[in-house]
């Protein structure tokens, strides 16, 4: 009998694996893949100030080419469980849809990949003409420190290399087959801090109001675009999301003003060149009269793109053959663990439709799970010739 992606996904959904809890999801995958002949490793990584995270790596085969399926079994919190039509960790099926936290993001993608690989192995004597692996993390929905980046380093330390990767994030916008993610913009968070001199509002000459300075700098930083976009990416955007002086008194000029911002940037910039650009613009606007500084948060979210070629064509063709749609090659959206994988091999993201991810009543049509499994199966079959 073919492997059942719905049954596999249901078992994963019944595991309460809210970041950083493993919740039984990795145990289920271990038992399932070991039974198919995979060698399985479960690694816990730690770092001061962060939660310990358990991760999963399973491989079958020892030769190339090596195709890996990547993903995460951790999920975001459920929110108000009473608001759910069906309990978020029940794996309930109703009206042709499978409900549960992580159904779309991204236990459904993992379930389909596992089912497709099991079917491929069953049709080829239990062994691929190369190697297939699963690279599964437990903190993608959090800070992504003790997950994929450290697991990749560990695998590399074992002397293993990947040739290509499919990350099963929910890449599609409206319909299965409409979008493949071939890149992601980078992300940089920071604070702009302007220091003035506190004083009485009736005597502004005795004070230095930092609100005036921060308004001027914000206007200067956002007056011109960061760039005009590139061949693969839309223009970068700088968004101020908070301006605060912590002042509850109307007759007091504050001594400091802070503004918080995020930049989603394309391949016209690096993290360092972007910081230098902001500094240059702020210095020009201040004219040496505004005392300011930037404090940037650490970022592991750099920009990347997988250039179209034979691998993206193979994936696109498999999608079109199953769905009749030619997918758009996109670099839009937020960040994903592909930003780490790209340093080890070419990676594309293709999974389910992301309409209900992170929402109350997250769910996926059963037919969509079956179709995604068929796409993954075509990819694996063609990848190994």
Q: Cite the annotated binding site for Zn(2+) by residue number.
A: 72, 105, 141, 169, 358
Coil, helix or strand for 118? helix
- Residue 181 burial (C-beta neighbours within 10 Å; 0-12, 13-18, 19+): buried
- Residue 120 to residue 380: CA distance in whole angstroms: 7
Alpha helices for the chain (secondary structure H): 5-13, 25-34, 108-123, 148-157, 210-223, 271-286, 310-323, 338-341, 366-383
Determine which one of 11, 22, 74, 267 is catalytic. 74
Let me know if 140 is a catalytic residue.
Answer: yes
Determine which one of 140, 256, 349, 368 is catalytic. 140
- Torsion over CA: 22, 28, 30, 31 (sign): positive
- Feature table: binding site: 72, 105, 141, 169, 358
- Torsion over CA: 222, 225, 229, 234 (sign): positive
Token pair recorded at residue 217 = 């700098």
Coil, helix or strand for 321? helix
Q: Which residues lie below 8 Å from residue 243, measured CB to CB, with a gap of 6+?
A: 214, 218, 257, 258, 259, 260
Residue 199's DSSP bridge partners are 253
Residues 209 and 201: beta-carbon distance below 8 Å: no
Cα–Cα distances in angstroms (integers) from residue 347 to residues 72, 133, 281, 315, 341, in the given order: 15, 14, 35, 11, 7
Q: How is the chain split among helix, strand and coil, in percent rounded to 5?
A: 30, 25, 45
Residues 76 and 141: beta-carbon distance below 8 Å: yes
**Cis peptide bond prior to 65, omega within 30° of 0:** yes
Residues 95-125 as b/e (b if ≥16 CB within 10 A, e otherwise) read eebbbbbbbbbbbbbbbbbbbbbbbbbeeee
- Residue 327 to residue 320: CA distance in whole angstroms: 7
Supply the residues annotated as catalytic.
Answer: 74, 140
């Amino acid at each position: 009998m073919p492997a059942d992606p719905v049954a596999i996904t249901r078992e994963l959904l019944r595991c309460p694996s809210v970041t950083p809890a493993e919740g039984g999801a990795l145990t289920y995958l271990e038992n399932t893949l070991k039974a198919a002949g995979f060698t399985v490793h479960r690694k816990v990584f730690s770092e001061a100030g962060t939660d310990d995270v358990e991760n999963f790596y399973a491989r079958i085969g020892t030769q190339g080419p090596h195709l890996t399926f990547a993903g995460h079994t951790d999920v975001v919190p459920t929110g108000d469980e009473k608001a759910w039509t069906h309990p978020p960790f029940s794996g309930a099926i109703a009206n042709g849809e499978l409900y549960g936290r992580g159904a779309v993001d991204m236990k459904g993608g993992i379930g389909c990949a596992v089912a497709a690989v099991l079917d491929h192995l069953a049709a080829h004597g239990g062994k691929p003409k190369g190697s297939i692996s699963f690279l599964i993390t437990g903190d993608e929905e959090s800070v992504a420190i003790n997950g994929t980046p450290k697991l990749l380093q560990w695998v590399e330390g074992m002397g293993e290399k990947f040739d290509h990767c499919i990350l099963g994030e929910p890449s599609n916008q409206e319909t299965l087959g409409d979008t493949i993610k071939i890149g992601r913009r980078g992300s940089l968070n920071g604070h702009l801090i302007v220091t003035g001199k506190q004083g009485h509002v009736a005597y502004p000459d005795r004070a230095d109001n930092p609100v005036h300075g921060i308004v001027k700098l914000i206007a200067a930083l956002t007056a011109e675009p960061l760039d005009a976009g590139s061949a693969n990416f839309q223009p970068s955007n700088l968004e101020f999301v908070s301006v605060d002086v912590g002042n509850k008194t109307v007759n007091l000029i504050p001594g400091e003003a802070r503004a918080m911002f995020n930049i989603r940037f394309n391949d016209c910039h690096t993290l360092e060149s972007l910081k230098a650009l902001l500094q240059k613009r702020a210095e020009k606007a201040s004219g040496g009269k505004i005392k300011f500084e930037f404090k940037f948060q650490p970022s592991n979210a750099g920009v990347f793109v997988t250039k179209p070629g034979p691998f993206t064509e193979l994936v696109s063709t498999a999608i079109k053959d199953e769905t009749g749609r030619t997918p758009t090659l996109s670099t839009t959206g937020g960040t994903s663990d592909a930003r780490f994988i790209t340093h080890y091999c070419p990676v594309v993201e293709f999974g389910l439709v992301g309409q209900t991810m992170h929402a109350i009543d997250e769910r996926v049509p059963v037919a969509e799970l079956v179709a995604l499994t068929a796409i993954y199966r075509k990819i694996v079959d063609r990848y190994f010739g």
